[in-house]
Structure 1
């Protein structure tokens, strides 16, 4: 059953990854039944109302194709070290959600290419199965033929080189590998996605008009919807590229300030007075923060026996940001702050398992704003 915490109705799991039918999937199912059903009824009048049941079976085959496509992404993503959260079949086909960004051009390309390859394999399997079905079983041949065509089309269409299609991620990986810049890859793939959106509308709508034909309303609507999907996805990639270039201008070291580490059982009198204190539990897990102003307040004689645990302010889950070095850019810090949300004011930066210092969200925002100003002034 669907609820507010889920993207839809859960079908099952794949290596602990939940698989959902998204809440928008019934829309595409209704559209397919409403359009494919009459075509089946016209081709096979003897079926009567059963023609719509045949159309319903086709929606199930389409659902199988979507799940297979996304499952391929998920399995290869797990192999390449991604934390896969869920697989969802929705109005636009489907998507696989990850907790982390692509770790390398090779990982990104591999995860992207296996989706269309899965559809190509299904198309081949359907084509082989079609040869084993007798010509007297016309409805079965119709369903299998539609299954073959759909999977072949999805495989080819998804390999087109533009975001947000899988081919766009492959193009992104190629440019990323060639230039060493993920932002450059996203920018190229994003603009190619926008070109694809324009070409798609030109081919399906403008081209018939130039030939003097009147495009059917149904195909016009779907063309515009698909082109809109491509345009928005491409725009998101371009926005990510611009954000990545901005983040690259600020290093973790630029916004980091020193902090002391103390166990939560330490007496307040044992803590340094001129710096922030990160409080850890018996296992060494940081959970609280004591500001210098709070330590000054605790300097009164009657509070000399107070321990750090009583003075520390509990920090929200996710306040620890792991980075490989303080010389890297602040992308990981921005992502950590976004994941936690508005409840966070400080991030604890950890390098190789050791706390390196604190970063105030306000300081991080100011540094990014300052880094953006020269670019705005030069436009």
Structure 2
């Protein structure tokens, strides 16, 4: 099963995560495989062994090799599922950082969020459509495939992809169908965060059904095996935890509109870099400014005074310390200069791309507006809870 895509605030750039191996790029997107994939490869090899032995007797231990080869082919088909998400996101101008394949499917990491319900539905829906297309194509190929091991592999790929496509259309996060449901709710309510929360609760319902699926086999006259209970437990746990994360995310994102750089900014006082720190602090107090910015001879901002560095400077030394000593240079940190009109997710994304305790806010024409302090943003976010 593919567990769709991820994205949002501060999606990381492509890089190796613990327990992953980079295997290359596809359409310009880095592809990683988690070591947990080996678990599913071994499981598939074990489950496929009797069928391989039946169509190709006498293979011995090679029947397990055939099972691993099938697992690799199935993983490649899941990779096509995930790359379809990435390409659709790119079509809407949303970069895709990476694809990570693991024991239960894959995740496509994209930068930011779709801007409209239509984009959400398209990016999410293309994955199951791709899997169904692969499955139906394999069924057609199966019609002309000779009996034997090759027929077993093609048929297995056909039905596996059809199952992946159908299951991913189930309306509950984190499945693709859950994102499609979110797009519908977003369109109906006009509130993407409320839509995320509702789709997350739907995902919890799907998780409960997954946990109970072995017990439901009795209704069809089938007897659940230990493997069925194990798979149901793993799948149910994964769906429940991911759906719960989506609910939390929806509630947190609902607070974001309250975060506006312009309203959270502190008034800044511009001072020469060589001005003694004690004098700079005296002037700031006199002018009731909440932040200090060092400027060059032409009045251009060159540094942001760091509150922690000021607090760490003993009072008796401040008359002898230039203000520039406790300022972070803006020339070495271009990400420290933000637009004063930033708000919500865009604001947090910019802050997370260049972590800092202070940021310089500028107007569209480049003039200084003020200073944004990270602790003020954190406090505002907490108050909006």
The interval holding the TM-score normalised by the smaller chain is 0.7 to 0.9
The equivalences for 1:1-379 within 5 A come to 8-135=20-147, 138-202=148-212, 204-208=213-217, 214-259=223-268, 268=275, 273-274=283-284, 275=289, 276-278=291-293, 288-290=303-305, 312-314=327-329, 320=336, 325=341, 328=343, 330-337=344-351, 344-349=356-361, 352=364, 354=366, 356-372=369-385
- Where structure 1 has 5 or more consecutive residues not aligned to the other structure, the ranges are 373-379
Please say which of residues 285-294 and 221-230 is displaced more in the overlay.
285-294
Distance 1:101 1:322 in 2: 20
Q: Which moved more, 1:16-25 or 1:156-165?
A: 16-25
Q: Report if aligned partners of 1:257, 1:359 keep a CA contact under 8 Å in 2.
A: yes
> Counterparts of 2:301 and 2:74 in 1: how far apart (Å)?
48
Indicate if the aligned counterparts of 1:322 and 1:332 stay in contact, CA closer than 8 A: no
Q: CA 1:244–1:217 in structure 2 vs 1: closer, same or farther (change >3 Å)?
A: same
Q: CA deviation at 1:134?
A: 2.7
1:311/1:253 CA distance change after superposition, 3 Å? closer
Give the TM-score, by structure 1 length.
0.80
Q: Is the 8 A contact 1:322 1:350 kept in 2?
A: yes
Offset, 1:46? 3.2
CA distance in 2, matches of 1:310, 1:234: 48
Residues in 2 aligned to 1:39 and 1:280: alpha-carbon distance in whole angstroms: 75
Q: Distance in 2 between matches of 1:145 and 1:152?
A: 11
Contact 1:322–1:349 under 8 Å retained in 2: yes
Which residue in 1 is equivalent to 2:10? Answer: none
**Residues 331-340 or 35-44, more deviating:** 331-340
The structure whose RCO (Cα within 8 Å, separation 6+) is larger is: 2
> Over aligned residue pairs, what C-alpha RMSD do you find?
3.7
Q: CA deviation at 1:250?
A: 4.5
Q: 1: CA distance between counterparts of 2:21 and 2:132? A: 27
- Structure 1 residues 324 and 97: alpha-carbon distance in aligned structure 2, compared to 1, 3 A threshold: farther
Q: Distance in 1 between matches of 2:28 and 2:63?
A: 37
User: Could you tell me whether the CA contact under 8 Å between 2:34 and 2:100 is conserved in 1?
Assistant: yes
- Give yes or no for contact 1:319–1:348 (8 Å, CA) kept in 2: no
How high is the TM-score relative to the length of structure 2? 0.79
**Per the alignment, do residues 62 and 210 of structure 1 end up closer, same or farther by CA in structure 2, a change over 3 Å counting?**
closer
Equivalenced residue count is 356
Change in CA separation of 1:114 and 1:260 when aligned onto 2, cut-off 3 Å: farther
Deviation at 1:194? 0.8
Structure 2: how far apart are the matches of 1:88 and 1:214? 34
Residues 256 and 244 of structure 1, relative CA distance in 2, 3 Å threshold: same
Q: Distance in 2 between matches of 1:281 and 1:35?
A: 71
Unaligned segments of structure 2, at least 5 residues? 1-14
**Deviation of 1:93 (Å):** 0.7
Query: In the superposition, relative to structure 1, how do residues 258 and 126 fare at CA in structure 2: closer, same or farther (>3 Å)?
Result: same
CA apart distance, 1:333? 3.9
Q: 1:247 deviation in Å?
A: 2.7
What is the rounded CA distance, in whole Å, between the counterparts of 1:60 and 1:21 in structure 2? Answer: 11
Aligned to 2:129, the other structure's residue is in SS state helix
